[in-house]
């Protein structure tokens, strides 16, 4: 049985995932950056990933600066238990307890590739830009990368680079000839064309 102690920051994104599912005939290999307790991981396992597919997850399981007012003790153990209750018999879930750039470097070194990548780790523009650029080489042609929190605003005003949007926009500008926008709302997703 799944056990979540943190607020549900995922369910409002299900329509985007459902739309992407309809756009992707192959969903055998998924990469998720940023997992927290595993709401998104479990939904992907139960509703998106093929019955014999693999999901690779990267997270520090230490939370982010915006999580200062919530209890993060036991986060990795909750994620493990939630995934264990959601995974199908023939599915595989690999996890790296790491910063995203370190985990992505490992995947690049191992020549991994993915049909779908979900980026929801650090929310600072420089980190999101680094994740995006590293992920682009891991995404198969025709695959889709989805960025969470494109329109996110912290309750107190922060500096512009403390939000994902500038990093995502910089990535989209540089790679504009290689991508197609497939979702643009609170989240944004791009299909890799070449």
**Residue corresponding to tokens 């926008």:** 181
- In tens, the pLDDT along 50-61 reads 999 999 999 999
Q: How far apart are CA 183 and CA 75, in angstroms?
A: 30
Q: Tell which wins on pLDDT, 95 or 161.
A: 95
pLDDT of residue 69: 64
Provide the pLDDT for residue 178.
Answer: 98
Q: Band of the pLDDT at 12, cuts 50, 70, 90?
A: very high
Confidence tier at 155 by pLDDT (50, 70, 90) = low
| pLDDT per residue as tens digits for the range 96-134 | 999 999 999 999 999 999 999 999 999 899 999 999 999
pLDDT at 157: 62
List Cβ neighbours of 150 (8 Å cut-off, separation of 6 or more).
Answer: 164, 165, 168, 184, 185, 186, 187, 188
Residues in the chain: 194
* Between 44 and 8, the higher pLDDT residue: 44
Q: Among 6, 23, 4, which Cα is nearest to 146's?
A: 23
Mean pLDDT computed over 2-31: 93
Q: Give the model's pLDDT for residue 73.
A: 82
Of 38, 41, 171, 177, which is closest to residue 188 (Cα–Cα)?
A: 171
pLDDT for the residue 152: 81
Mean pLDDT of the residues in the chain: 93
Domains of the chain: 15-192 (3.40.50.150)
Whether pLDDT at 9 is above 90: no
Beta strands 92-97 and 114-119 are: unpaired
């Amino acid at each position: 049985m799944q056990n979540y102690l943190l607020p549900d920051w995922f369910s409002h994104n299900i329509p985007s995932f459902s739309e992407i599912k309809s756009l992707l005939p192959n969903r055998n290999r998924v990469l998720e950056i940023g997992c927290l307790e595993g709401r998104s991981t479990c939904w992907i396992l139960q509703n998106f990933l093929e019955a014999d597919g693999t999901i690779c997850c990267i997270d520090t399981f230490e939370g982010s600066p915006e999580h200062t007012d919530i209890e993060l003790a036991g986060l990795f153990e909750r994620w493990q238990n939630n995934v264990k209750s959601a995974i199908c018999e023939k599915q595989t879930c690999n996890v790296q307890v790491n910063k995203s750039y370190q985990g992505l470097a490992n995947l690049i070194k191992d020549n991994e590739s993915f049909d779908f990548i979900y980026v929801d780790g650090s929310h600072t523009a420089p980190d999101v830009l680094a994740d995006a650029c590293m992920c682009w080489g891991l995404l198969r042609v025709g695959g889709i990368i989805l960025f969470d929190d494109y329109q996110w605003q912290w309750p107190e005003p922060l500096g512009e680079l403390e939000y994902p949007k500038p990093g995502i926009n910089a990535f989209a500008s540089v790679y504009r000839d290689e991508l197609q926008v497939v979702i643009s709302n609170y989240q944004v997703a791009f299909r890799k064309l070449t």
